[in-house]
Structure 1
């Protein structure tokens, strides 16, 4: 592995071997991958999204020690099939380990290096498999796709993480998100509880834990933990998030891979493209695709509102995923029998990313196309700046029915009436190209990355059923 100064001892107290040409070629990509390989924690977990270079990073981790003839380590997948899959760990190791003189023993999935150091690949197909390692000692333990392993397997194998080779024992793992896994709880401190995404400011920050009375107790340092629990033997852990944007080599070699991730169903896209640890299939409970019948035409009559959710951020680079300015135009057609209730039709939906001026132009141009018969609902931020912005829109939209409303309550509560109408089969979509994107966002709510169309639809339904609770006309 390439080192900044070959005269320095490495992070685990072992003097590095003299650099070679092969060493110089085995170099992590800058950013999360390099951070993961340089972290000093007892346990480090890497990833959180697909395409972040997880397998390479895990395979490279133990290479700093292969000049030590007493060093040994194991990298686990849940099943042997996963290890041997085409493009899996064994295949990838064949590209990497021979550069340092490694010799493979394919029948036992083991590598031997000139010093005598060894690295094995193995499985833990069920909880009882860990008993095969009673009495074993391994300086390095690697887990590929940690959420595939049970909590019992992980903690038992941690007890086998010991060494007399002079290398401080350590554990490294890679993972994709799983909101319902024990791993999500283990790294919860590093995850934003609202968005489900990794907190950038906490990436790679090391924390300390000990098991006290059957539960994990955490502190910001070993000394702090010992002060609280003098008998504790603290261990350190960190999480280094990464996603496809951090893997320039893959993006260059396979430019279509991002498109493949973007084509996934909404929940899986949130997990694998964005690294969302909170999104789960259960999020579909508020809106389900099958609740929205498609129609080719809309009956006339009724009241129509164009509802907007505002943002003013341009997309600046690949991987940048700002909020959208989004709108829906919804018509409520009263029931012919009593003139009440009725059916809601989403006639059109659109969204854009742009500067404040571009957003303003879009609103004014859309209003001109809709005509004065379509009411306009806009969200108004609290405070003087929000009032001034809303007043500007009302003045520029003179001749239109405009309602600027300060949102009240949380997003899920505001979406409740729309969800109830959808579940009852009272919201229909005009068949159009935007249908799938709108439904994808609705299904992923409230754990999805974006809720711009959700907010716009919720406000439209509330406007058509409850009216505006707060408008500029009342100021």
Structure 2
């Protein structure tokens, strides 16, 4: 059978060589930028950690290379606010200036950039709008992915949309500056990319870890073997490779050459701003939204807590599960604390926290009371109105039938006035906490409590306030232990504890 030879057509660019010579060459200018541009193995790639590291420009170059080399490449670029992507000097304006000479066409109505080979890039927004992405099959890029308006649940959903026909692996790339209250900080901490002080670990730069969503929770592992040992081999195959590449202005030679004043300004900012924007510290915060700070809580060991102190677990209730309509509802919180009247020291011992339906919350209430034992008081809030009183009475009756000592805490006055005694003790250094009792979300909520409605939750501060106020008042009746000869009379009274 004779071989058939087909003469290949030479690709002819629409510009002459002379015209091409006038187009600026865009390329990575540092090791960090090159690492980010060439990363192909990870499913989730995060670049950032400080200002002016060239994150946006390198992202544009990264997308351009893939689109030019593959007609099947599709990428959606996202930000919390779409206007931030399209206004003057934005991502949209930058790609128009840089890509138009290469024959890329732009539709300003749909915000789509289409390459001559058929590849295209679309700009959109991310704001609790999962339905917009249900049929998407593409890579995705999030600009300023640590913005507080961007929820973890939205980003996790986008990961499930990573697919397509491109020869390039579908990836989610994210650029960001440090934001203490962002989900991204939690991810980087879990992945081991940050020091205890919040700075990027140099030895972890560009190192692959493994991202796993298991039973709704996000977990990180250093190797697939760790996942296999914990959850089995099949589960380990579903973990996604994750890479964080830190960078600051020193990783951007263009700024160092053409705008050295910018680096000088970063170095001479106030300490907190310098740590955040130059050093990339994810714990740095220039805001003072509330009356509490994480560092006010004095972490101690269990052996440092005196024995025999009056102890209470105070509850604040909610009854909503996370859903698509409400991905991050209020939580039901029960915090156990002790108080030393002789010193004024307040000890935080344990926290139960869940976001679930009423039946599950009630089960958690009873279980916590049983685990704590009858020596620990249980504080139940009494909400205004007949319905609130009826609900609290039912809980009290059920707990007392299990042998618990119950205190009803009326929710009178403003939240701030109720919290003031606890906040003053916290500022005075009188509040101690066992390690790992509070998660990052809890600290964030407490730090941002102002007594006024905002985007943060007050579940934890309400629980702490009731616990502190009840224990400090000293009106609790202790358990009375009677000698054995009085057991018959004791049984007639209904138990070993008098209320």
Q: What TM-score do you get using the length of structure 2 for normalisation?
A: 0.50
Separation (CA, whole Å) in 2 of partners of 1:72 and 1:87? 23
CA distance in 2, matches of 1:264, 1:24: 34
Displacement after TM superposition at 1:173 (Å): 0.7
SS at match of 2:110: coil
Confirm or deny: 8 A CA contact 1:226 1:234 kept in the other structure.
no
1:184-236 Cα offsets, whole Å, 9 max, x none, are: 01111344433321111110000112222222333223354234323321101
Match among 269, 277, 285 for residue 272 of structure 1: 277
Per-residue deviation, 1:76 = 0.5
Match of 1:92 in 2: 94
Please list every run of 5 or more consecutive structure 1 residues that lacks an aligned counterpart in the other structure.
1-16, 288-418, 421-475
Partner residue in 2 for 1:168: 169
Inter-partner Cα distance in structure 1 for 2:254 and 2:287: 35
Give the structure 2 partner of residue 145 of structure 1. 144
Name the SS for the 1:56 alignment partner. helix
Is 1:209–1:225's contact at 8 Å kept on the other side of the alignment?
Answer: no
Change (3 A) 1:154 1:58: same
Aligned residue in 1 for 2:330: none
Pick the aligned partner of 2:256 from 251, 255, 258: 251
Deviations 1:311-361 (A, max 9, x none): xxxxxxxxxxxxxxxxxxxxxxxxxxxxxxxxxxxxxxxxxxxxxxxxxxx
Three-state SS of the structure 2 residue aligned to 1:210 is strand
Aligned length: 271
| Mapping 1:57-76, distance limit 5 Å | 57-66=58-67, 67-76=69-78
Alignment of 1:59-458 (within 5 A): 59-66=60-67, 67-124=69-126, 126-127=127-128, 129-138=129-138, 140-148=139-147, 149-188=150-189, 189-229=191-231, 230-232=233-235, 233-262=238-267, 264-281=269-286
Cα drift, residue 132 of structure 1: 1.3
Flag the 1:216–1:199 CA change in 2: closer, same or farther, 3 A.
same
Change over 3 Å in CA distance of 1:99–1:191 after alignment to 2: same
Measured at CA, do residues 166 and 194 of structure 1 come closer, stay the same or move farther in structure 2, by a change above 3 Å? closer
Other-structure match for 1:25: 25
CA contact (8 A) 2:75 2:122 kept: yes
Alignment-derived partner of residue 13 in structure 1: none
Match of 1:38 in 2: 38
- Measured against aligned partners, the alpha-carbon deviations of 1:404-457 in whole angstroms (never above 9, x if no partner) come to xxxxxxxxxxxxxxx98xxxxxxxxxxxxxxxxxxxxxxxxxxxxxxxxxxxxx
Cα distance, 1:248 vs. partner? 1.3
How far residue 33 of structure 1 moved from its aligned partner, in angstroms, is 0.7
- Report the counterpart of residue 56 of structure 1 in structure 2: 57
Matched residue SS, 2:255: helix
TM-score (norm 1): 0.52
Cα-Cα RMSD: 3.0
Q: Deviations over 1:224-278 (max 9, x none)?
A: 4234323321101010000011111012222221243345443233211211111
